[in-house]
Amino acid sequence: MFWGFKNKLLIVYLFFSRKTIKFLEIFLLNKIFQPHFGFRSPSPINSVNIKFQYRYSHTLCVENRLNFLLSVLFTALFFFYDSADEEPTSQSDHSEIQGTLKTLASKLDDLSTCNDLIAKHGAALQRSLSELETLRVPLEGGEKIKAVNERATLFRITSNAMINACRDFLDLAESHSRRWQRVLQHEREQRTHLEETIEQLAKQHNSLERAWREAPAHAVNTPNTPTTDKGVSERPRKEEASDEDEDTEYFDAMEDSPAFITVTATDPSQHRSTSSPFNPKMKSLSTTFDEQQTESKELQPHRKRRTQIPEKPNYSLNLWSIMKNCIGKELSKIPMPVNFNEPLSMLQRLTEDLEYHELLDKAARCENSLEQMCLVAAFSVSSYSTTVHRTAKPFNPLLGETYELDRLEEFGYRSLCEQVSHHPPAAAHHVMSQRGWTLWQEITIASKFRGKYLSIMPLGAIHLQFHASGNHYVWRKVTSTVHNIIVGKLWIDQSGDIDIVNHRTKETCQLKFSPYSYFSREVPRKVTGVVKDSDGQAHYILSGTWDDKMESAKIVQSSRGSSSSEGKQKTVYQTLTPKLLWKKYPLPENAENMYYFSSLALTLNEEEEGVCWTDSRLRPDQQLMEAGRWDEANVEKQRLEEKQRATRRRREAEASKAIDEGQDFEGYRPLWFHQRTDEMTGETIYVYKGGYWEAKERQEWSMCPDIF
């Protein structure tokens, strides 16, 4: 509608002021008739100097007001119907139709409000007219007053009829919405059927083309056919791009550029002897997952890690006890019970990204940067595989809290996390591997509660650098959404895009995490991606799910296809058989009673000798919760949080005192990380400054704060 609800109230209010009739006339000319009919008032509104002189009798003023109000009301009705009729059949989704009906209902409510105000002030107007009839006026004046009274009565009747007509219009729109939905559902089914038909035609076309190409190949198969140094004939190699089996795969669009379709091409006789038909010197991605497992099993751990923790107790959540503890307290001081937590801190959850570190070990041995990009992309997806059943919240780390994971002897890497800021909460993470890579990141968590679900948005970039090649990869995490916060069973979804950039070669990979939709026919938790070189040419197609596996398929040929239903032209990519990059490890036995922890997560709270006394595995409330003593854990958690608040108040008092005395005050500084400007992104982030592992060797922790 052209006017908002506030503007309507303003018009009704101004209607009862004598000196504003001229203002309203100019307002209507400028705001309504001029844009739609080309009329224009003599002067702009902001320069009008309204000087209204009382030239008419009271009766004539009442009549003029009635006429003016009628014009305003019917103008509003005109815009109501004008906005209500805007493209009702262009809505293509049930939610959009419902939104349109809600808008119509809202506009009807606005008109009803105006009608109530008209009825109220109209009744007052009639009372005033009745009082005028009792006065001694000439006969002609009495007849005029009766005529105005009759007009006021007709005005009220007309406004009521208008509101009823609008209500009938809304009911009619609601009844027709069901027919619209049936028509739209029929159109959707027809479009789906058409897409399936086109897909079958594409399969048959490629099968016929393959048969046509194979026929002359057998007829001209002579010893004089030129061969390469590997003994494979030249002709079949050139025809690899057009070969395709009947298991053709089609992928939807996953970027703003034109959508694409991938067609799998397989011919065992041509691809059995070499892993990459275009560059035999490159290390191939064709290593199967079984070979990866065999490779990892060759490294027997020097220490037997635990495989289970105490089972999660079945404690009922007493909401009244939580509310009772909240009475009279500030929001920041309300303790949240450990019933909502899992016995791990956020620092340990960051460390869980290393669950599939062998992907980076393999990537470090890749000689081809594009294949390396595929493995890095699989690693970025694998970090979400542990979240599919993990709906509990990790403990918020205390300021200065650290967590180390030393797997140097077993897997060749060391990891260190530190909580570097409390408001906003930020954690810095650094991993160094003897197998040729270094990873670091600073993550700040931002969250928004949207009624039925909670959106968790990790802020900050993840950096990965390989020592041998110098390839430096940067990417950011996607948004995690926890659904059914109020009612129902909690479940987690990941959605958004991950753009991985190799800053040395300018190669990119865009991964799309498709959000879950009840009406979608796609595989739940689907992830698709394309690996491109510095010129924007696609080389690999990635596909899979973030909770199970990822595959890569090398592109051998691309061509422009027909336009999609959205009007975009699709690109058809013909690929080799997809190769498995990553597959999720099965959960340990009885994981459902151990917070759905993975094999790595079960070991994160193991006792370690010589760790810093700020380490998360030494946090008392977390230890009590893992042992199943939740009541004691709640008491300990409240004590730790109050101790942290007291430390912050003392630090703020010292800062205030230093400012009053004109002295410089140095705020909190992390022990093991310092701020630096990143050369790649230009952001100021916390990076590891060294010294932790040397301090561990000396067992020198005197500089560490007492936070527990």
Q: Are 226 and 234 in contact (CB under 8 A)?
A: yes
Q: Which two tokens stand for residue 635?
A: 């008491």
- Over residues 161-186, the pLDDT tens digits come to 777 777 777 777 777 777 777 777 87
Question: Largest alpha-carbon pair distance within the chain?
Answer: 127
pTM of the model: 0.61
Residue 551: pLDDT over 80: yes
Q: What is the mean pLDDT of the chain?
A: 75
Q: Which two tokens stand for residue 276?
A: 């990459």
Cα dihedral 404, 407, 408, 414 sign: negative
Which helix (H) or strand (E) is 553 found in, with range?
Answer: strand 549-563
Express the helix, strand and coil content of the chain in percent, nearest 5 each.
45, 20, 35
Tell me, what's the pLDDT at 509?
97
Calculate the dihedral angle through the C-alpha atoms of 596, 480, 477, 532, rounding to the nearest 10 degrees. Answer: 100
Q: Which two tokens stand for residue 334?
A: 């309300």
Tally Cβ neighbours within 10 Å of residue 518: 4
Residue 9: pLDDT over 50: no
Residue given tokens 């070990």 in the structure block: 361
> Which of 444, 432, 284 is CA-nearest to residue 357?
432
Residue 323: pLDDT over 90: no
Q: Which two tokens stand for residue 618?
A: 């030494």
Tell me, what's the pLDDT at 363?
96
Of 142-156, 342-356, 473-487, 665-679, give the range with the top mean pLDDT.
342-356
Q: Are 126 and 152 in contact (CB under 8 A)?
A: yes
CB-based contacts of 395, cutoff 8 Å, min separation 6 = 341, 343, 344, 345, 346, 616, 619, 621, 622, 637
Tell me, what's the pLDDT at 506?
95
Task: Tell me the pLDDT band of 568, cut-offs 50, 70 and 90.
Answer: low
Tell me, what's the pLDDT at 203?
73
Report the amino acid identity of residue 82: D
Residue given tokens 């705020």 in the structure block: 667
Residue 32: pLDDT over 90: no
Q: Among 52-61, 118-127, 302-311, 394-403, where is mean pLDDT lowest?
A: 52-61
> Which of 509, 468, 440, 501 is CA-nearest to residue 365?
468
Tell me, what's the pLDDT at 367?
92
424 prior amide bond cis, ω within 30: yes
In this prediction, residues 200-217 reach a mean pLDDT of 70
Exposed, middle or buried by CB within 10 Å (0-12, 13-18, 19+), for 266? middle
Of 95-104, 214-223, 298-307, 435-444, give the range with the top mean pLDDT.
435-444
Tell me, what's the pLDDT at 153?
79
Tell me, what's the pLDDT at 290?
47
Task: Tell me the pLDDT band of 522, cut-offs 50, 70 and 90.
Answer: confident
Tell me, what's the pLDDT at 240?
38
Task: Tell me the pLDDT band of 564, cut-offs 50, 70 and 90.
Answer: low
Tell me, what's the pLDDT at 512?
95
Residue 260: pLDDT over 80: no
Q: Are 637 and 343 in contact (CB under 8 A)?
A: no
Residue given tokens 């994971």 in the structure block: 405
Tell me, what's the pLDDT at 261?
63
Specify which residues 476 forms β-bridges with: 461
Tell me, what's the pLDDT at 562?
57
Task: Give pairs for 46-53: CB < 8 Å, separation 24+.
Answer: 48/22, 48/23, 50/19, 50/20, 50/22, 50/23, 52/18, 52/19, 52/20, 52/21, 52/22
CA distance 105 to 84: 10
Tell me, what's the pLDDT at 57?
39
Cα-based distances in Å from 444 to 136, 343, 393, 527: 81, 21, 16, 24
In this prediction, residues 223-229 reach a mean pLDDT of 41
Residue 316: pLDDT over 80: no
Q: Among 45-59, 61-75, 133-147, 218-232, where is mean pLDDT lowest?
A: 45-59
Specify which residues 260 forms β-bridges with: 571
Specify which residues 227 forms β-bridges with: 233
Tell me, what's the pLDDT at 327?
61
Task: Tell me the pLDDT band of 679, cut-offs 50, 70 and 90.
Answer: confident
- Over residues 629-645, the pLDDT tens digits come to 998 999 999 999 999 99
Q: Which two tokens stand for residue 632?
A: 């004691």
Task: Tell me the pLDDT band of 47, cut-offs 50, 70 and 90.
Answer: very low
Residue 348: pLDDT over 80: yes
First to last CA, the chain: 60
CA distance 277 to 282: 10
DSSP letters spanning 458-504: EESEEEEEETTT--EEEEE--EEEEE-SSSS--EEEEEEEEEEEETT
Tell me, what's the pLDDT at 424?
87
In this prediction, residues 593-613 reach a mean pLDDT of 94
Q: Work out the percent of the chain whose per-residue pLDDT is above 70.
A: 68
Residue 450: pLDDT over 60: yes
Q: Of residues 147 and 78, which shows the higher confidence score? A: 147
CB-based contacts of 640, cutoff 8 Å, min separation 6 = 398, 619, 620, 621, 707, 708
> Which of 57, 56, 68 is CA-nearest to residue 15?
68
Report the chain's C-alpha Rg in angstroms. 36
Residue positions counted in the chain: 708
Tell me, what's the pLDDT at 146?
77
Residue 476: pLDDT over 90: yes
Residue 470: pLDDT over 60: yes
